[in-house]
Each structure stands twice: as C-alpha cells, then as structure tokens.
C-alpha cells in the first residue's frame, strides 16, 4: 500500500494556488529545488505527471486537476482529525478571516459585531495580506474564511460575482502623453489591482511608471484625486467612495474582476457558512448602501485604487 505524505500534498497546493515554484518555496519556507524535488516525488508516488508546460507557462494536466481536488479533501480531513485532538468547544471557537482589502476591513467589523451578538462565545482574528497568499493559507487550513478579488473566476468559492473593473482619475479631461509611461497609483506587487493594471496596459502596448506606491486604500484614493496618477478599482467601489470613473479616457478597458467569498473545507461550517453568507450579502448585494451607512457612523471609507 502506497502512502502519500501530507507535506507533499501541501507543497502541490502551494504551487497550484500561487502559480509559481518560487512563490511556493517562499511561502513554505523551503528552497525552490526542494519544492521541485517534492513535486517530482509526488509524481512518482501517483504514477503520473501533474504539470505540463507550454509557451504560456506551467499548467495542471487533467490527472493533475483530479489529484489536486482530492488533495484538498484529504488535507481538510487531516486537519479535522487534528482538530478533534484539541477538544475545541464552541466557547473556544476562533474564526480566522483573511481579506486583502481595506474596504472589506471597513465593512467587516460591523458584520462581525452583529454576528457576535448572536454568538457571544465566538472570537475573530482578521488578517490582511495579498490575495494569493491568503488563498494558499485557506487551502492549507490556516484561515477559515476568505473575502477577496481575483483576476480569474474561481470554481471553488461559496459566493462569486463578476465586477466591472474601471480606471479612476482625479481629472477626467486629462490626456496621456504619447511615448510617456502611464503614471500608476497602486499598492504594488503582489496585489490584484496592481497586477491587473499592469496586465491591461502591457496588453495595449503601453508602458507604466509607479507614480505613487501606497500602503492603504485611503492614501491611494487621495493620490488619484490629487492627480498623481491613475488606478484600477471596481465600479461599485469607485461610486461608493466618490472617485471619478474614467469611462471615456484614453486608457484600455480593463477585463472584469471577480469578488469571491470562500469557506474552507472542514471545521465549524455551521458557523462559517452563515457568516460568509452575511458578508456576501453586503459585498454582492447592497455594498454601496452599506458603505454610505457605515461612513455615516464614523467608520472611515476607503477605495481600492
């Protein structure tokens, strides 16, 4: 009987979720050759190639996709068994939430506050990091809920809605100088809005320069309003915080983004799922109204340029 070590499966999921051997190595705290060796060992154990290469990069084979789906289920069961040993009770439950967006962070405390009034024994830990890192952490069982934006439509999210991506500007009459790089306002790598803006510009043969690199959504919003450069966000969010959408500007139209709400496999799903549903109702239903209401209570609004 062949047994597959769970560390090999966790390495596989890290490579798949981060789409890079190098990023997977960094996230796991090992070297890239070690990642390659573990993937090679896993392929030997399952008796098939999991990845194939073409001119655009490395992709899962059909069998690789089936292995990944089962690896996620197996690791979820592994984590559930480990959790049983901890004898966690409802009064001990900590819900771990990941989100890369300050906007969600401004809305989230209100949702959590209302939820905790119905479940007073539950505590929350919220972390804000880049989407790809959080996605890997969720699949590794390190966080329970994830709210974020993706450039590709996910197939394993509990809730997902396509969002129109737009350029925002402080001056709708501005012009882009021919031959000059487009001044970009963003949080930089590896955040979704930055990568989406760079991909959009390069797809149209345009260069860019990082005119303003900010660490918060409010600072980015202020930089756009001040005319330091242009950024990408979703239309709903731009309208909610009063940013000017550059509909008729000279920059290429960005592809749509996808806002997703994930719930990890296993754990206290009777708690995770209703909380995820409440957050999705705000993000995908009445986000503009909720944002104005929260701002009126003194919660700082922000944007996602």
- Is residue 236 scored above 80 in pLDDT? yes
Residues 101, 149: contact at Cβ < 8 Å?
yes
Nearest-angstrom CA–CA distance, 287 and 305: 17
* Phi, psi for residue 148 in degrees, rounded to 5: -170, 180
Q: What is the pLDDT of residues 193-216, one digit of tens each?
A: 999 999 999 999 999 999 999 888
DSSP conformation letters of 226-270: TTS-BEEEEHHHHHHHTPEE-TTSSSPPPPPEEEEEEE-SSS-HH
In terms of Cα–Cα distance, which of 231, 227, 226, 225 is closest to 208? 231
Domain assignments of the chain as residue spans, ordered by start = 6-81, 90-153+260-296, 163-257
Nearest-angstrom CA–CA distance, 193 and 187: 8
Helix (H, G, I), strand (E, B) or coil at 145: strand
In terms of Cα–Cα distance, which of 94, 70, 192, 189 is closest to 145? 94
Q: What is the pLDDT of residues 59-105, one digit of tens each?
A: 788 898 889 888 888 887 777 676 665 444 455 688 999 988 665 66
pLDDT at 104: 67
Nearest-angstrom CA–CA distance, 284 and 288: 10
Q: Which fold has domain 6-81?
A: Arc Repressor Mutant, subunit A (1.10.10)
Report the DSSP pairing between strands 244-245 and 165-169.
antiparallel
Q: How confident is the model at residue 53 (pLDDT cuts 50, 70, 90)?
A: confident
The residues facing 234 across adjacent strands are 165
Residues 110, 79: contact at Cβ < 8 Å?
no
Q: How confident is the model at residue 287 (pLDDT cuts 50, 70, 90)?
A: very low
Query: Considering the domain 163-257 in this protein, what is its CATH number?
Result: 3.40.190.10
Q: Which fold has domain 90-153+260-296?
A: D-Maltodextrin-Binding Protein; domain 2 (3.40.190)
Instruction: Provide the CA 84 distance to its chain's centre, in angstroms.
Output: 29
Other beta carbons within 10 angstroms of residue 269's beta carbon come to 13
Q: What is the pLDDT of residues 93-130, one digit of tens each?
A: 889 999 886 656 667 888 899 998 988 888 898 888 88
**Same fold flag, 90-153+260-296 and 163-257:** yes
Other beta carbons within 10 angstroms of residue 112's beta carbon come to 19
């Amino acid at each position: 009987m062949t047994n597959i070590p769970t560390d090999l499966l966790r390495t596989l999921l890290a490579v798949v979720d981060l789409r890079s051997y190098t990023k997977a190595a960094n996230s796991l705290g090992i070297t890239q050759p070690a990642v390659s060796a573990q993937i090679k060992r896993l392929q030997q154990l399952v008796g098939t190639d999991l990845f194939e290469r073409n001119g655009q990069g490395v992709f899962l084979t059909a069998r690789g996709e089936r292995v990944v789906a089962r690896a996620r289920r197996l690791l979820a069961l592994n984590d559930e068994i480990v959790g049983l040993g901890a004898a966690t009770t409802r009064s001990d439950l900590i819900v771990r939430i990941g989100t890369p967006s300050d906007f969600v962070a401004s809305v989230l405390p209100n949702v959590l506050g209302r939820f905790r009034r119905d479940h007073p024994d539950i505590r929350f830990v919220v972390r804000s990091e880049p989407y790809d890192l959080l996605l890997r952490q969720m699949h590794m069982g390190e966080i329970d809920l994830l709210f974020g934006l993706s450039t590709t439509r996910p197939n394993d999210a509990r809730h997902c809605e396509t969002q129109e991506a737009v350029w925002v500007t402080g001056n709708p009459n501005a012009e882009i100088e021919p031959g000059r790089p487009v001044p970009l306002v963003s949080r930089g790598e590896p955040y979704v809005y930055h990568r989406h803006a760079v991909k959009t510009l390069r797809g149209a043969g345009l260069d860019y320069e990082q005119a303003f690199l900010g660490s918060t959504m409010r600072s980015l919003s202020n930089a756009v309003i001040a005319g330091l450069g242009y950024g990408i966000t979703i239309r709903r969010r731009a309208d909610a915080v009063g940013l000017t959408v550059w509909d008729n500007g000279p920059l290429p139209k960005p592809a749509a983004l996808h806002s997703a709400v994930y719930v990890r496999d296993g754990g206290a799903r009777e708690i995770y799922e209703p909380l995820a549903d409440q957050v999705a109702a705000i993000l995908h239903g009445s986000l503009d109204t909720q944002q104005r209401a929260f701002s009126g209570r003194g919660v700082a609004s922000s944007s996602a340029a």
